[in-house]
């Protein structure tokens, strides 16, 4: 085995060179956990079983791969045995250097006993070892500096019995399968908890919207009304076809506005005018909280007959809005952010209830189509947004509701660490919240491995992040960050260019998602609430306030804000689903519209929307890529609304009259 020869050569060359370890480690670290050309032994690829496997893991040189993709996908399983193998190799060298006579305890390679606790240190050594030990490269010079380091490092490890045949601990197929299984379980647990964590804010937002609608329907003068942008006014006298076409025109106008705004945002984002976007969103949020909050308060005051003077109201409203702006765009406790985002979504939905009935349903139907196109088609704006966000390693400002990481839920067993931000590729993307699973499958698996390694870390915290903003969040995870960064240095195969840059980008994103609390998955809501919000705002411009074009940006702001704040948030770690605020808004619009009819329709639509959301997240778990969050829920919701309204409600009315329970 080459390593033995290498050990000899190293032993002989020892003391002749002083190569700084750090330099060796860092310079070669980037590639060394990658692949080196194998010597063409006829072994199958470890991951896919194909012959010939021309690459091998450069750290341990004991497994072969056929391509970098396979190496990346196998890393999450191989990293354990890699550590053990390298440790065993080190022990071999140590034994050779120090003589076989030293009594050693009979342990099976340091790697095994050390795995749980030593994984991190092992990983680090791996890097330096990897840097040191690519025997094929024959660069003995760079090896030497590490030797002392390795010896020191291995000095503390339990020794193997002398004369014991050198064993390379390798994962048996059963172990490998077990690790894969464990990985899958951790995956599913993660998703389950994410569903649970995202159901709560969605339910709260929906309930708030129902509350506002019910209150304003009780006879207030300040109800949101349809804007004059709409070309068609529904009236009870029009025929069905007139209603249909007219509402189609209305909804088309609104969707057109949404599309235009989305494209503008995408262009701005791609060009890098982040500050413009942020400023824009800030204004939008301010307007939303300020004006829409004002309208809501007027409604409440009138219906509930609250005695309140203008001064107090202005003071309270000012405080409310400014706190919202601060907590969403700057720093604030996570729960305050989430609360504000939820409230803003419900305010947005409340304003959208001003649309007439046919228009609302038509709008929702068109949104489903738009969402599907925008997220899944290659030329869809949201997809482009997601990708450019990934490329620039810059999250789209706000627009996302982030669920906290679940790492605090349970101490993970040694080999299964809770996942956090898996697949973080799209983590930054927010706006439309695409259910992103980060990369394509090889990358996905790779990420899985990472998250496992990083464990509680909430996604890889990279020690070397380009984004200074992230550094503050690393403080909490310093111990882990080194490891994760090491692990993360394995080339990330995401099907695109596997360059070092890409790796760091991936890492950075993961880190960002880690500490920004953003997690890879963003449920796409189809247009980013901003857009829709925007359009609808103009559409329902019949508010008392002057229709301010900036109000549109308010919606966009909602989503952005969240992301912004989460960036600075140290406490709540990333990981977890990200759901765009637009999803919140349109779920609430649907249920609020159902609430305008009857309580039974309200409840049915709520259950339908929640089940749709579960199904979408389930699909996300299967497909591991960005998915639109609106279609399934809205389709269920609309179906149930119409079925309930025309069949169930009369049915129940008859039953309830006679108190017959089915």
Closest separation in Å from C-beta 413 to other proteins: 12
Between residues 241 and 658, which has the closer beta carbon with respect to other proteins?
Answer: 658
Between residues 330 and 599, which has the closer beta carbon with respect to other proteins?
Answer: 599
How far is C-alpha 477 from the geometric centre of its chain's CA atoms? 19
Residue ranges that bind other proteins, judged by CB under 8 A: 184-185, 188-189, 192-193, 195-196, 199, 598-600, 603-604, 607-608, 610-611, 614, 640, 643-644, 646-648, 650-662
Between residues 182 and 258, which has the closer beta carbon with respect to other proteins?
Answer: 182
Between residues 315 and 646, which has the closer beta carbon with respect to other proteins?
Answer: 646
43 Cβ neighbours under 8 A, 6+ residues apart: 53, 64
Between residues 155 and 654, which has the closer beta carbon with respect to other proteins?
Answer: 654
Residue 57 host element (H or E)? strand 55-57
From CA 441, how far away is CA 428, in angstroms rounded?
A: 19
Between residues 351 and 601, which has the closer beta carbon with respect to other proteins?
Answer: 601
From CA 318, how far away is CA 314, in angstroms rounded?
A: 6
The owner of tokens 């590490």 is 146
Q: What distance separates the 2 farthest-apart alpha carbons in the chain?
A: 101
From CA 394, how far away is CA 107, in angstroms rounded?
A: 47
Closest separation in Å from C-beta 450 to other proteins: 21
Between residues 11 and 647, which has the closer beta carbon with respect to other proteins?
Answer: 647
Question: Could you give the 3-state DSSP secondary structure of residue 579?
Answer: strand
Between residues 87 and 205, which has the closer beta carbon with respect to other proteins?
Answer: 205
Closest separation in Å from C-beta 203 to other proteins: 10
Closest separation in Å from C-beta 632 to other proteins: 12
**With 0-12 CB in 10 A as exposed, 13-18 as middle and 19+ as buried, what is 479?**
exposed
Per-residue 3-state assignment (H helix, E strand, C coil) for 515-532: HHCCCCEEEECCCHHHHH
From CA 565, how far away is CA 281, in angstroms rounded?
A: 13
Tell me phi and psi for residue 37, to 5 degrees: -70, 130
529 Cβ neighbours under 8 A, 6+ residues apart: 345, 348, 399, 555, 556, 558, 559, 580, 581, 582, 583, 584, 585, 586
Closest separation in Å from C-beta 618 to other proteins: 9
Between residues 352 and 608, which has the closer beta carbon with respect to other proteins?
Answer: 608
DSSP state of 404: P
Alpha helical stretches, state H, 99-220: 109-132, 140-155, 173-217
From CA 77, how far away is CA 82, in angstroms rounded?
A: 9
Helix axes 334-352, 528-539, angle to 10 degrees: 40
Please state, in angstroms and as integers, the Cα–Cα distance from residue 95 to each residue in 61, 87, 604, 626, following that order.
Answer: 20, 12, 71, 51
């Amino acid at each position: 085995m080459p390593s033995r020869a290498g050990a000899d050569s190293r032993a002989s060359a020892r003391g002749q060179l002083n190569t700084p370890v750090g330099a060796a480690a860092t310079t070669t670290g980037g590639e060394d956990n990658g692949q080196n050309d194998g010597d063409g032994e006829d072994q199958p690829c470890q991951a896919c079983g194909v012959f010939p496997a021309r690459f091998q893991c450069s750290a341990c040189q004991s497994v072969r791969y056929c391509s970098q993709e396979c190496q990346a996908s196998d890393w999450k399983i191989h990293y354990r045995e890699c550590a053990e193998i390298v440790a065993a190799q080190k022990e071999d060298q140590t034994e050779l250097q120090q003589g076989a006579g030293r009594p050693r305890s009979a342990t099976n390679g340091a790697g095994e006993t050390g795995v749980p606790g030593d994984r991190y240190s092992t990983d680090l050594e791996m890097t330096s070892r990897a840097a040191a030990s690519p025997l094929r490269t024959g660069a003995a010079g760079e090896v030497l500096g590490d030797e002392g380091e390795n010896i020191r490092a291995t000095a503390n490890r339990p020794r193997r019995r002398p004369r014991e045949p050198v064993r390379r601990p390798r994962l048996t197929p059963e172990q490998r399968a077990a690790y894969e299984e464990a990985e899958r379980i951790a995956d599913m647990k993660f998703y389950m908890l994410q569903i649970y964590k995202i159901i709560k804010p969605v339910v709260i937002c929906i309930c708030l919207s129902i509350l506002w609608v019910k209150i304003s329907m009780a006879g207030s003068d300040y109800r949101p009304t349809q804007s004059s942008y709409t070309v068609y006014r529904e009236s009870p006298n029009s025929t069905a076809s007139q209603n249909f076409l007219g509402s189609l025109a209305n909804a088309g106008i609104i969707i057109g506005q949404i599309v235009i705004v989305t494209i503008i945002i995408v262009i701005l984002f791609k060009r890098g005018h982040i500050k413009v976007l942020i400023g824009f969103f800030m204004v939008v949020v301010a307007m939303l909280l300020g004006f829409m909050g004002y309208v809501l308060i007027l409604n409440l005051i009138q219906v509930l007959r609250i005695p309140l003077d203008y001064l107090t109201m202005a003071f309270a409203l000012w405080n409310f809005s400014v706190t919202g702006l601060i907590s969403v765009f700057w720093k604030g406790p996570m729960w305050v952010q989430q609360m504000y985002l939820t409230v803003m979504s419900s305010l947005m939905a409340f304003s959208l209830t001003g649309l007439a009935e046919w228009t609302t349903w038509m709008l929702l139907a068109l949104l489903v189509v738009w969402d599907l196109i925008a997220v899944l088609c290659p030329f869809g704006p949201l997809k482009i947004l997601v990708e450019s966000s990934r490329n620039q390693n810059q999250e789209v400002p706000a627009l996302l509701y982030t669920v906290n990481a679940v790492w605090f839920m349970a101490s993970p067993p040694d080999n299964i660490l809770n996942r956090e931000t898996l697949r973080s590729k799209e983590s930054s993307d927010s706006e439309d919240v695409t259910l992103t699973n980060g990369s394509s499958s090889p990358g996905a698996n790779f990420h899985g491995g990472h998250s496992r390694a990083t464990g509680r870390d909430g996604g890889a915290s990279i020690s070397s992040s380009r984004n200074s903003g992230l550094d503050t969040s690393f403080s909490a995870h310093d111990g882990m960050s080194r490891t994760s960064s090491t692990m993360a240095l394995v080339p990330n195969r995401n099907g695109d260019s596997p360059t070092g840059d890409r790796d760091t980008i991936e890492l950075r994103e993961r880190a960002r998602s880690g500490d920004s609390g953003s997690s890879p998955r963003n449920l796409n809501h189809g247009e980013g609430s901003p857009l829709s919000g925007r359009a609808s705002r103009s559409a329902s411009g019949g508010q008392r306030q002057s229709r301010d074009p900036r109000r549109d940006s308010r919606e966009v702001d909602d989503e952005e804000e969240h992301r912004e704040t989460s960036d600075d948030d140290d406490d709540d770690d990333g990981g977890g689903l990200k759901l765009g605020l637009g999803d919140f808004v349109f779920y609430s619009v649907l249920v609020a519209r159902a609430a305008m009819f009857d309580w039974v329709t309200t409840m049915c639509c709520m259950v339908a929307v929640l089940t749709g959301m579960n199904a979408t997240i389930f699909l996300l778990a299967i497909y591991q890529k960005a998915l639109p969050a609106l279609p399934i829920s809205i389709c269920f919701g609309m179906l149930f609304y119409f079925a309930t309204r025309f069949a169930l409600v009369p049915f129940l009315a008859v039953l309830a009259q006679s108190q017959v329970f089915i």
